[in-house]
Amino acid sequence: MSEIIVMPRLSDTMEEGTILRWLKGEGETVARGEELVEIETDKATMTYESDQAGVLRLLAAEGDTLAVGQPIATVGDGHGDEAAGAPQGGTAAPQGGTATPEADTGTPRGGAPGGGTAGERVRASPLARRMAREGGIELAGLHGSGPGGRIVKADVLRPAPAARASAGAPAAQGPAGTAPWAPDEIARAKGETRVLELTRLQQTVARRMAESKATIPDFTLEIELDMEECVALRAQLKEIANPAAAGTPYRGTGEHAEPPPEAVPTYNDMVVKAAALALREHPLANGSYRDGKLQLHSRINVGVAVASEGALVVPTVFDTEEKSLGEIARETSALAARVRDGSITPPELGGGTFTVSNLGMFGIRSFAAIINPPQAAILSVGALAPRAVVRDGEIVARHTMSLTLVCDHRILYGAEAARFLARIGELLEAPAALTL
């Protein structure tokens, strides 16, 4: 008797995974807990350990992309029930069900299998089928470069000219008074074109951001803060953390003797701490919207947006309101380093209940970020700089910074959101509470 191993869900946003490398081969004996396969998810590459023991039979090949829950292998005694098995590298039906014609053949809805003779089978990965369907591409016109001639994502991105459905497509118009441009003329007019394939992470970011803009009725609030007290606080923290550079001896003892210079909180760390304390007082802002219901979370986990190579990643600082400024500073610095060197893990990228995004280091005065669904809101942080303001009837230079809160109106209404943002501002303009 054989037990089915399915594509596991390795992150909270994972919908499909790509098998990068089998660590055990066809017919080999696998022990429970033994490393079985390397899987690329929407967030990271992870090694999956077998939860069964026995003889391995592969149902999917390296390079295949399958939806979560689809069978990838069986493990058993090498005899008996092979009903779940599919040809190696093929697509199997989920346990207890049968494959639909579309899932089994890769046929776009309404068409004959593969666009050719009835009953003809076109082998393609689930991702390739979906991309072909969305792009109006006939799979039968493509040459598969995957295992066994299977059509994979790269084949869909570089289809043969005849593969694209052109029925009813209007001809592109050239300059006024001229005949329509032919496709090759359009290509020449654009100059040399390079096609860059999106990584799985970029695909996930694109999908989730499109989902956010299409489904979330959002609104935006903005405040301008006087950050003079935060500037003074950070100067004091720098002096404590690095007294030699400040020219004064440090008298601390024990664990406070010589905090490393990298532990000095940034202004963004102060914003993260202030947001966490305000979330404790305004639980709706720490909620989520799922399936027509509001979910209020007991833990406050603030995600901090980090720019990586070609993508945006949001690692999570868990239980943020319970951590000191120094702890937040060390943790955000370490998380950002792991994002940039590619060693960040899915657990460090999940579980966020609120997000802070900062573009101030690029000189951006204010911006409205896109909500990370299903979270209630996202806080955008602008550049901190000295600006002319009016104080006591006189124009003076003060360090100011803009905060922009983008809210899901299904969770937060205007007044509640305004009170939440105002509370963040109060904490930053009188930051002593951030150090408690």
Which residues are known to be catalytic?
Answer: 409
For residue 102, give the DSSP letter.
H
Q: DSSP H helical segments within 216-324, as ranges?
A: 228-241, 243-246, 267-281
Going by their DSSP bridges, the two strands 35-40 and 29-30 should be labelled as unpaired
Residues in the chain: 436
Signed CA dihedral, 110, 115, 120, 124: sign only: negative
How many C-beta neighbours within 10 Å does residue 388 have?
A: 9
433: number of Cβ within 10 Å: 12
Beta bridge partners of 377: 407
Omega before 259 within 30 of 0, i.e. cis: no
| Nearest CA among 285, 119, 195 for reference residue 301 | 285
Q: Nearest to residue 137, comparing CAs of 161, 112, 170? A: 161
Rounded CA separation 364/261 (Å): 27
418: which residues sit within 8 A by CB, 6+ positions away? 221
